[in-house]
């Protein structure tokens, strides 16, 4: 079809417009390319010239400053100290072995250290710095810096390392840091690049381990210019990372130090809780160890000594270990019976020194061979009569006893930031069927009624139990007071669903245990009226006493090997009228609770209430000379609570 003049004019106009658009786009693109070439050649020429000349720009990670840990009064428990060290970057060093041997002529390096450095360098990315030696003197660092031209890839630097001012006293709670191991890396799906740096330290135990990610912070980066032999010429730019979060614990360091000193010579643990808040004021396990040895590198000999010590200094006995609670469990059995309406406080039982149970005629003994005679609830707790609890336990049954135990905090893994917090064991019929494949027997109930048999509890759980008995509320333990100065909210503490009258009966009996002349802990009472305490002794057997031994006479604990002696336990709260603190004490293989554990609990209670070494007038007259001498020794010891110097830079 033949086009008209009008059609041809419109077609020409369209082609012209398209040409203009296409030409404009081409001119714009050429302009952008020209601007980019100018930017690369003029503005960034110095940077790319350096990159072209033997790749002399390196990126390095900047380890963040680890968060600090303080006690409730602001005293530092874990700080950062300056640490002089030398590092090596494999891609800058060239012949790593030759460089290390030259370095060994300047600073002392053993063949083993050289071998480990070579191995670490090969296992890491070529640009990742490998720490060759740390904790060096300033003189050594100066020598390395002067000889930098003949030490390609070697850098002298200042880092930060962890220090624990109170050492053994807080080792189990605070924990310690150590170098990242292959095992640590294997457990993580996407490990932080920081962890690839050899000898980078992470939390291994205690709060340091449980709050590792928050304490660690995040890495920064820096770009540095190095010359042809790897010497750092200048730092081009730096992006600082984020420091780790600071933690404030609920611990009272001065009280913790006192408890640690009081436990010297024992394999024991103590937990002190604030009844109002659940704050853990002291959590101590003895014997302990110096965590600073692990930061700097403990020798194999010293490590083996700690590992093979039969008193187990590595274990935090207060939260990781569980024990038969012995007679400290009797309050639970009594409350279960009262709440079930199966026993009244006035009801009595006859204790001839034993009870025959079941059709098989199995005999269960009371700790007092001659028996207690007629006993009611008050007397049974005060004098710790076993037979009374054998009797009421058979009526109430194990399931109700176990339910009451859980209500009071036993058989529960309490949420505190420490490793391997024990759950304990509050057995019932279902547990024995599912775990042991056996039916529950009446003898199991009788044993459980006095905290023996399958029942197990940690000192932390016993302290929680005591705080709940004292307050009637569901007190939960708390170890973190604040994070970066922001207070940690307290958990709700609803009232226990236990009758107030039943709790009053138990509290009065616990008061009599400490303050009545026939009470098992009368010898360890507090005589200061405003601080009178209520408590309960406990002794748990770790061996079975045979019938033949009973006939010939039971061997005294003192005459047995240490490992076969009974555990000694004690729980208390004070003051009786207005409970402020709850205390639990376990002395491993200490013998009787009234002799070994109650005096420790009384001393710790007074120290916590007075806030300083208590006056001797608060103790019974017979103890005052011993207490005076003990306080004299403690006052000679340097309990320095001034803040040590720390460095975040």
Q: Give the catalytic positions in this structure.
A: 327
Q: Can you say how many angstroms the Cα of residue 602 is from the centroid of all Cα atoms in its chain?
A: 25
Residue 212, token pair as written in the block: 């590792």
- Whole-number Å distance between alpha carbons of 603 and 285: 16
Residue 343 near residue 377 (C-beta atoms within 8 A):
yes
| Three-class SS state of 578 | coil
Pairing outcome for strands 247-249 and 567-574 = unpaired
Distance CA 570, CA 459 (A): 9
* Element containing residue 374 per DSSP (H, E): strand 373-375
The rounded distance, in Å, linking the Cα atoms of 325 and 586 is 9
Neighbouring-strand partners of residue 34: none
In angstroms, the Cα distances linking 262 to 297, 583, 633 are: 29, 14, 11
Tokens of 31: 């302009």
Query: 607: closest CA among 168, 257, 170?
Result: 257
Strand pairing report for 69-70 and 247-249:
parallel
The answer to whether the beta carbons of residues 537 and 519 sit under 8 Å apart is no
Torsion, CA 449, CA 454, CA 459, CA 460, rounded to 10: -100
Q: How far apart are CA 383 and CA 291, in angstroms?
A: 43
């Amino acid at each position: 079809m033949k086009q008209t003049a009008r059609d041809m004019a419109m077609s020409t106009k369209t082609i012209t417009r398209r040409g203009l658009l296409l030409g404009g786009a081409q001119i714009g693109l050429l302009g952008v390319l020209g601007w980019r070439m100018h930017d690369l050649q003029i503005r960034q020429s110095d940077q790319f010239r350096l990159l072209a000349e033997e790749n002399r720009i390196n990126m390095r990670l900047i380890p963040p400053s680890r968060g600090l840990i303080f006690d409730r009064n602001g005293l530092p428990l874990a700080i950062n100290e300056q640490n002089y060290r030398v590092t090596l970057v494999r891609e800058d060093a060239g012949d790593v072995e030759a460089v290390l041997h030259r370095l060994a002529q300047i600073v002392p390096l053993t063949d083993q250290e050289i071998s480990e450095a070579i191995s670490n360098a090969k296992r890491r990315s070529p640009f990742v710095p490998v720490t060759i030696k740390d904790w060096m003197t300033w003189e050594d660092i100066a020598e390395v810096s002067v000889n930098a031209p003949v030490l390609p890839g070697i850098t002298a630097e200042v880092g930060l390392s962890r220090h624990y001012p109170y050492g053994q006293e807080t080792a189990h709670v605070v924990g310690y840091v150590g170098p990242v191991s292959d095992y640590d890396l294997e457990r993580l799906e996407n490990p932080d690049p920081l962890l690839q740096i050899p000898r980078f330290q992470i939390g291994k135990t205690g709060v340091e381990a449980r709050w590792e990610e928050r304490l660690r912070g995040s890495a920064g980066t820096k770009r540095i210019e190095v010359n042809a032999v790897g010497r750092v010429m200048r730092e081009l730019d730096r992006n600082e990372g984020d420091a780790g979060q600071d933690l404030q614990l609920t611990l009272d360091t001065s009280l913790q130090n006192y408890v640690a000193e009081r436990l010297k010579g024992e394999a024991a643990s103590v937990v002190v809780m604030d009844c109002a808040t659940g704050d853990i004021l002291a959590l101590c396990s003895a014997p302990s160890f110096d965590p600073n040895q692990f930061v700097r590198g403990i020798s194999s000999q010293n490590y083996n000594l700690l590992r093979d010590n039969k008193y187990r200094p590595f274990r935090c006995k207060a939260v990781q270990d569980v024990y038969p609670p012995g007679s400290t469990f009797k309050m639970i059995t009594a409350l279960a019976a009262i709440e079930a309406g199966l026993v009244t406080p006035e009801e009595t039982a006859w204790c001839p020194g034993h009870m025959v149970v079941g059709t098989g005629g199995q005999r269960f003994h009371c700790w007092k061979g001659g028996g207690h005679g007629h006993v009611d609830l008050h007397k049974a707790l005060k004098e710790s009569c076993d037979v009374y609890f054998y009797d009421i336990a058979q009526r109430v049954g194990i399931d109700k006893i176990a339910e009451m135990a859980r209500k009071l905090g036993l058989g529960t893994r309490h949420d505190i930031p420490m490793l391997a917090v024990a759950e304990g064991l509050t057995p019932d019929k279902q547990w024995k069927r599912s775990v042991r494949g056996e039916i529950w027997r009446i003898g199991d109930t009788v044993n459980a009624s006095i905290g023996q048999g399958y029942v197990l509890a940690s000192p932390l759980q016993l302290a929680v139990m005591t705080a709940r008995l004292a307050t009637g509320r569901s007190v939960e333990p708390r170890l973190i007071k604040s994070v970066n100065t922001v207070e940690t909210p307290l958990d709700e503490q609803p009232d226990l669903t236990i009758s107030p009258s039943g709790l009053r009966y138990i509290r009065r009996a616990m008061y009599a245990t400490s303050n009545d002349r026939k009470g098992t802990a009368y010898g360890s009472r507090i005589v200061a009226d405003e601080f009178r305490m209520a408590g309960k002794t406990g002794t748990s057997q770790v061996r079975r006493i045979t019938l033949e031994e009973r006939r010939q006479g039971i061997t005294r604990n003192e005459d047995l090997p240490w490992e076969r002696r009974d555990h000694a336990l004690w729980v208390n709260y004070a003051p009786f009228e207005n409970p402020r603190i709850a205390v639990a004490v376990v002395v491993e293989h200490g013998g009787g609770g009234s002799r070994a554990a109650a005096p420790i609990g009384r001393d710790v209670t007074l120290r916590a209430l007075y806030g300083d070494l208590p006056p001797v007038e608060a103790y019974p007259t017979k103890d005052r000379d011993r207490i005076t001498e003990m306080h004299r020794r403690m006052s000679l010891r340097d309990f320095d609570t001034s803040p040590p110097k720390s460095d975040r830079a």
